[in-house]
Structure 1
Amino acid sequence: MGQQLPAGPVQGVEEAEPADYSDTFYGQIGGHETFAKIIHVFYQGVAADPLLRAMYPEEDLGPAERRMLMFIEQYWGGPRTYLEERGHPRLRMRHVPFAVTPEARDHWLAAMRKGVDAAELSPLHEATLWDYLERAAHSLVNSA
Structure 2
Amino acid sequence: MERYHQTLYELLGGEDAIRRIVEAFYPKVQAHPLIGPLFPDNILPVMEKQRLFLTQFFGGPMLYSDQYGHPMMRARHLPFEITPERAEAWLSCMREALKEVNVSEELSAAVLARLSGPAHHFVNSPST
TM-score (norm 1): 0.76
SS at 1:51 equivalent: coil
SS at 2:15 equivalent: helix
Partner of 1:36: 19
Q: Is the 8 A contact 1:37 1:118 kept in 2?
A: no
Deviates more, 1:90-99 or 1:131-140: 131-140
Q: Determine if the alignment matches structure 1 residue 100 to structure 2 residue 100.
A: no
Q: Larger helix proportion, structure 1 or 2? A: 2
Residues paired across the two proteins, number: 122
Deviates more, 1:60-69 or 1:71-80: 71-80
| Residues 117-141 of structure 1, C-alpha deviations (whole Å, 9 max, x = no match) | 1232344422221111222211111
Q: What 5-or-longer segments of structure 1 have no aligned partner?
A: 1-21
Partner of 1:115: 97
The alpha-carbon deviation at position 78 of structure 1 amounts to 1.6
Q: Determine if the alignment matches structure 1 residue 143 to structure 2 residue 125.
A: yes
Q: How do 1:60-79 residues align onto structure 2 when only pairs under 5 Å count?
A: 60-79=42-61
**Same amino acid, percent of matched pairs:** 34
CA distance in 1 between partners of 2:100 and 2:69 (Å): 29
Q: Is the 8 A contact 1:29 1:121 kept in 2?
A: yes
| Residues 89-108 of structure 1, C-alpha deviations (whole Å, 9 max, x = no match) | 11110000000011211211
AA paired with 2:22? I
AA paired with 2:16? E
CA RMSD of aligned residues (A): 1.7
CA distance in 2 between partners of 1:139 and 1:91 (Å): 10
Q: Is the 8 A contact 2:91 2:112 kept in 1?
A: no
Q: Which is higher, the Rg of structure 1 or of structure 2?
A: 1
